[in-house]
């Protein structure tokens, strides 16, 4: 099965999508990557979903990526004597380390690391920012605040602290356990929550030990401020607009999204745009017009992937949500304006032989009758560089390394094929021609561009570009040895 679009679709699995039939239906509707949200469900639940995905992968013969999304540390208030209290704008309220039940004047905030970082003037946001307070005075075990936006605060509601970098590790003990579990069961990507600094990513990478690619979720102002450094040590990025919209003014999120997507494209690293893309489809079989425009905007920006969260995990219409996203993607990519926008925003810092080869491949493909660009790859880096060019023809990635193919399922425009190791360039060309024909991109009369490196099976050796026929007889006659 080949997709009729370039942007990839990430679908989160959950209670509404945990059996073989539903997950298979999500795949057939357009899902390329399945997200396991480690915040919900047990490890046994996630392993069962993983087993189903791998079974579908075997049944369809098409690589499918699995992304395990780590929960990250959760900062929450304590409990109230009456379960909840109403806070009114302008009233004082205290957070402290006292475990006693809270009332209308105070509540426990059992996180000394928050008090260690607070300064007067900082904001505390409760329950996804619905309640807002400003710090007047603080110490190692308290913060006296004024309510700036009132509302009902209840037991164990989450707390955001947008104005300071918290001395909190991105990986909690639960996350460390989940990370090892996810790597052990063979996921392709690890999504890291609560990233504040590049050191958070470096720590996760050390624990993963090369068993999965690391995707950093940008959901905090400190991550936006340090984005260049975080991007440099990450394999991919998720623009997690939900928490960004809580900790930053909502009107600042769209320009941040555009900036982050463009930065990822420049360095050839995949980027997912996520959160509330088709939120109304949790309850409705039809999205709103604004949601459709939101998905389309991310695609016009050149994002590698768009993501469904609760829509596919817990909604009433999970398959319809994926089908809708697929239809929007096909419609956008069929629009002549899409190519104009994508090509006008193409930007690359080309410094290497591989950079030059992939740029030449795109130029050849777009000025002659080339049916596909085929890359024989070990690590997937060359394929990512080809995808950065956003060519007008399909990209076929051939690799003997299953983990490489799994990671590439998230990359724009890439169709993955597992092949045997080859020792000669001729066989790489033969495999590429077969793949192009199998996908339906070309017949025996067509031509493809093949990119590879000699010596074979060594990372970082991209040094060959050939325009080749898809007729194997012509390939062998041109190079009989």
The catalytic site residues sit at: 35, 76, 217, 275
Written as six digits, the tokens of 94 are: 């205290």
SS3 241: helix
Written as six digits, the tokens of 114 are: 């928050």
Residues 6+ apart with CB under 8 A from 78: 99, 101, 102, 107, 108, 109, 110, 155, 156
Q: How far apart are CA 412 and CA 405, in angstroms?
A: 13
H or E segment to which residue 9 belongs: strand 8-13
Q: How far apart are CA 206 and CA 63, in angstroms?
A: 26
Written as six digits, the tokens of 277 are: 């893309």
- Number of alpha carbons in the 13 Å side-chain half-sphere of residue 214: 24
- CA angle 52/281/194 to nearest 5° reads 70
Q: How far apart are CA 454 and CA 458, in angstroms?
A: 8
Written as six digits, the tokens of 437 are: 């024909």
Beta bridge partners of 35: 12, 67
Q: What is the per-residue burial (b if ≥16 Cβ within 10 Å, else e) of 55-73?
A: ebbeeeebbbbbbbbbbbb
Q: How far apart are CA 72 and CA 68, in angstroms?
A: 12
Question: Residue 257 in contact with residue 298, Cβ under 8 Å?
Answer: yes
- Checking 393-398 for CB contacts under 8 A at 24+ apart, the result is 393/365, 393/366, 393/441, 394/439, 394/441, 396/372, 396/432, 396/435, 396/436, 396/439, 396/441, 396/448, 398/374, 398/428, 398/431, 398/432, 398/435
């Amino acid at each position: 099965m080949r997709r009729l679009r370039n942007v990839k679709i990430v679908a989160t699995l959950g209670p509404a999508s945990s059996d073989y039939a539903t997950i298979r239906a999500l795949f057939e509707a357009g899902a390329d990557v399945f997200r396991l949200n480690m915040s919900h469900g047990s490890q046994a639940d996630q392993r069962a979903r993983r087993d189903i995905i791998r079974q579908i992968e075997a049944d369809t013969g098409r690589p499918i990526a699995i992304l395990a999304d780590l929960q990250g540390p959760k900062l929450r208030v304590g409990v109230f004597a009456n379960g909840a209290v109403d806070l009114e704008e302008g009233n004082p309220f205290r957070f402290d380390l006292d475990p006693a039940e809270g009332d209308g004047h105070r509540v426990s905030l059992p996180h000394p690391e928050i008090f260690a970082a607070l300064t007067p003037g900082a904001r505390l946001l409760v329950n996804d920012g619905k309640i807002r307070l400003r710090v007047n005075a603080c110490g190692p075990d308290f913060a006296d605040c004024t309510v700036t936006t009132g509302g009902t605060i209840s037991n164990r509601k989450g707390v955001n602290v947008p104005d300071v970098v918290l001395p909190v590790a991105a990986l909690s003990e639960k996350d460390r356990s989940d990370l090892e579990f996810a790597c052990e069961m063979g996921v392709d990507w690890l999504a890291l929550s609560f990233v504040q600094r590049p050191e958070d990513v470096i720590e996760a990478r050390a624990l993963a030990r090369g068993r999965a690619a690391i995707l950093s979720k940008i959901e905090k102002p400190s991550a936006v401020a340090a984005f260049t450094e975080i991007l440099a040590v990450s394999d991919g990025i998720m623009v997690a607009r939900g928490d960004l919209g809580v900790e930053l003014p909502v009107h600042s999120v769209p320009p941040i999204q555009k900036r982050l997507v463009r930065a990822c494209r420049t360095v050839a690293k995949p980027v997912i745009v996520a959160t509330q893309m088709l939120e109304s489809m949790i309850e409705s079989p039809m999205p709103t017009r604004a949601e459709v425009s939101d998905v389309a905007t991310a695609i016009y920006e050149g994002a590698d992937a768009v993501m469904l969260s609760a829509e596919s995990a817990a909604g009433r219409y999970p398959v319809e949500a994926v089908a809708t996203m697929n239809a929007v993607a096909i419609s956008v990519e069929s629009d002549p304006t899409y190519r104009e926008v994508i090509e006008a925003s193409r930007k690359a810092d080309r410094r290497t032989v591989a950079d030059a080869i992939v740029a030449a491949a795109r130029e050849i493909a777009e000025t002659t009758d080339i049916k596909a660009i085929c890359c024989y790859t070990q690590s997937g880096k060359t394929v990512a560089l080809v995808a950065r060019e956003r060519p007008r023809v399909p990209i076929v990635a051939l690799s003997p390394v299953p983990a490489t193919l799994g990671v590439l399922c998230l990359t724009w425009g890439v169709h993955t094929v597992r092949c045997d190791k080859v020792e000669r360039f001729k066989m790489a060309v033969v495999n590429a021609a077969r793949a192009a024909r199998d996908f339906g991109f070309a017949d025996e009369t067509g031509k493809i561009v093949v990119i590879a490196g000699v010596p074979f099976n060594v990372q970082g050796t991209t040094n060959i570009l050939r325009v080749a026929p898809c007729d194997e007889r012509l390939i062998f006659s041109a190079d009989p040895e």
